[in-house]
Amino acid sequence: MFNKILVANRGEIAIRVMRACREMDIATVAVHSEADERALFVKYADVAHCIGLPPASQSYLRIDRILDVAEKTGAEAIHPGYGFLSENSEFVRECEKMGIAFIGPSSESMDASGSKIAAKKTMGAAGVPVIPGISGEIEDVESTVDSAQGLGYPVIVKASAGGGGIGMKIARNDDELRSAIHSTQAVAKSTFGDATIFLEKYLLHPRHIEFQILADSYGNTVHLNERECSIQRRHQKLIEESPSPVMTPELREDMGAAALRVAKAIDYRNAGTVEFMYSDGDYYFLEMNTRLQVEHPITEIVTGLDIVKRQIAIAAGDRLDLEQEDVGINGWAIECRINAEDPLNDFAPFPGKIVRYRSPGGPGIRLDSGVHTGYTISPFYDSMISKLISYGENRVEAIEKMRRALYEYIITGVTTNIPFHKAVLRNTHFLDAELSTHFIEDFDILTQVADVVEQDKEKGATFASAIGADDRKVAAISAAVTTYINTPVNR
């Protein structure tokens, strides 16, 4: 086992990895930018080194500086978290050259799944269903338009490299497709340094379902069941739950087997996620995420397995300590991503200083965060504040606990998406599990968010409105919202 691990990330995920290391009696090294000098993850680590200016390109994306710190501190392994360099195969190759273990897949596996075009071809050959589209990259606009007419509109244009929905454009006719091709190429080139794009049939109301997998270096591979990730904005997830409300034992077995075929097709090791789109009873391979996912806590809760510890153990050469039949599902878990962003302004980021912060707790609540009162949400990085997770014996109980936790959460000084989560968790379509990647648009959620914001203002329906008040005022506000919070979920 490793004695020291460098965590090449920041915020809540850096703390999450360091917690696992501390429980395993492994020393940790933090790297940070000047903007994060006083961040919690820096204080949590055993050793911390500044590696550059606030822009990620001058700090968290500097492979040379990160490896220099690893060498100086004697770190035997690097955990990349998610984002930044977590899916950068060049970073993996540089680690391999230096004899530093990368806690993730090999550079070859990462390359095999890094190009969405290549990955689709590989998965199709492995017998995994893929979304219908044009084989290969787009090279000629007019021939692509002709092909799209045969495929049938709407279609979607995507970048082959990168992720997070960046650059994706939907086209419903020839003119929109021509525009989408030029737009996506430009975004792909500027963001990922690779202008390669491709085209797929656009599924109108799909669900986004993904399977967590673990694979060791000895050919042993298991999946840890599924997560439903359909509630998204700009193709980026906001609310996830496990298990999926649409899942049956037969479908889980079929999709799980497909996920394992994906892993074996690229000789995958460590933790990864196979993402599918599900529509009208059929599922299609979307992509392979070769890293830890933001939503991994809900899988940990319902399976009782610590994914980060197993990542570390696999990278250290251990065999998987479980078989597929050992993986069960116990209860239901929901995760809300709490971000500093304004849902009523197209979810625009809202950097700034947190004036007051009080996190929720109690039975069935887990919070992964790296912020505190006085912490500044930087404009240089992702706006995530925390991952709020609820757990119950069933979906109804998990929803009830999440609703309660959302109304306990106090964050002032920055605008957050908490009102969005409140609105969704009370929406009848969500309660009935009528989910798709177009949930926000289909059910006019943002109008409901505006209503929640007004209710919070008018009724003092959050403890945050008591800022600067005495204990009696806080208690009075607490009592005033009890009825609203505890309104039973429709069964």
What does the longest C-alpha to C-alpha distance in the chain come to? 71
Which residues are known to be catalytic? 291
Question: Among 104, 101, 122, which residue's Cα sits nearest to residue 112?
Answer: 122
Question: Among 394, 398, 462, which residue's Cα sits nearest to residue 425?
Answer: 398
* Domains contained in the chain, number: 3
Q: Say whether both 19 and 37 belong to one domain.
A: yes
DSSP class of residue 335 equals E
| pLDDT at position 378 | 95
* CATH number of the domain encompassing residue 141: 3.30.1490.20
- The last residue of a domain, from among 201, 218, 234: 201
Residue 115 located in a structural domain: no
Q: Say whether both 37 and 160 belong to one domain.
A: no
Q: Say whether both 287 and 401 belong to one domain.
A: yes
pTM of the full structure = 0.89
| pLDDT at position 115 | 79
| pLDDT at position 480 | 44
Q: List, for residues 346-386, the tens digit of each pLDDT value.
A: 999 999 999 999 999 999 999 999 999 999 999 999 999 99
Residues 299/212, Cβ–Cβ less than 8 Å: yes
In angstroms, rounded to a whole number, what is the distance separating the alpha carbons of residues 207 and 246? 9
In angstroms, rounded to a whole number, what is the distance separating the alpha carbons of residues 321 and 118? 32
Q: Say whether both 404 and 463 belong to one domain.
A: yes
Residue 121 located in a structural domain: no
Helix H segments across 45-140? 63-73, 89-98, 107-114, 116-125
Question: Among 433, 438, 439, which residue's Cα sits nearest to residue 202?
Answer: 438
In angstroms, rounded to a whole number, what is the distance separating the alpha carbons of residues 94 and 78? 11
In angstroms, rounded to a whole number, what is the distance separating the alpha carbons of residues 143 and 233? 31
What tokens were used for 246? 């649409």
List strand residue ranges (DSSP E) for 160-204, in order: 169-171, 197-201
Start-to-end CA distance of the chain, whole Å, equals 48
Q: Scanning the structure block, which residue is given the tokens 């086209």?
A: 171
| pLDDT at position 489 | 43
- The last residue of a domain, from among 185, 201, 217: 201
| pLDDT at position 139 | 86
Residue 185: which domain range?
132-201
> Which positions of the chain have pLDDT values less than 50?
461-464, 466-491
